[in-house]
Amino acid sequence: MNIKKLFEMQKVLDERIIEEHKIRETYTKEQLIKSKVLSLNVETAECANEHREFKFWSKDREPRINAVCKTCNGAGQVRSANYPSTIAPCYVCNSTGQYGNPLLEEYVDGLHFVLSLGLEIDYENMEYFKWHKQKAHTITEQYIAIAKWAAAMLEDDYYFELFHAYIHLGVMLGFSWEQIEQAYMDKNKVNHQRQDNGY
């Protein structure tokens, strides 16, 4: 995964949002960091919801890795294994706005905020970060670790720990570096389109 490239793409998106929404006029840096931490927590929770491991009360604890087509009302089901990214056409109606892997989509939504937090605190040059082996966690424990490091960012500099915990979650979920990078690029494009449309 080319981390530098992802930071550069996130920087372009962040600068666009900041300018178009006049963020610097309404938010202090501290307020913006808090909003990004909360946004990351929300996206991480949505990812956990798609993974479902923590749902001890449910008999349906299988991760949501296939999406039913909304265009043809579920007549077609997108098979995510055939598509490395999140956006895939329906095999019945060929609609192109379908998400082939909701779990991966939610994961990269959170990655946008991890990168955005790094930019906000001037950590965009991550080339010196070496991959390190984390102690074994369950996936549920990894989600909790991410929430812990995100909250700790509000008190001190724990970006290194947050970044690695989030990347490690992607590995634990079974995503390859290539899938994560491609899904990020796909969703980044969607996020620009949303800005074009006044989202």
Give whole-number Cα distances, 107 to 72, 102, 110, in Å.
26, 9, 5
Q: How confident is the model at residue 34 (pLDDT cuts 50, 70, 90)?
A: very high
90 and 146 in a single domain? The answer is no
56 three-class SS? coil
22: domain CATH number is 1.10.4010.10
Note whether 147 and 80 are same-domain residues. Answer: no
pLDDT at site 143: 96
What tens digit of pLDDT does each residue of 97-150 get? Answer: 555 688 999 999 999 999 999 999 987 665 555 555 566 689 999 999 999 999
**74/31 same-domain check:** no
Task: Give the pair of three-digit tokens for residue 96.
Answer: 């192109």
pTM check: above 0.85: no
pLDDT grade for 64, boundaries at 50, 70 and 90: confident
| Structure tokens that stand for 190 in this block | 């969607």
Look up the domain containing 82 and give its range.
Answer: 66-100
What percent of the chain is modeled with pLDDT above 70? 76
In the chain, the number of structural domains is 2
Q: Give 78's strand partners.
A: 67
- 81 & 142 share domain: no
Mean pLDDT of the chain: 84
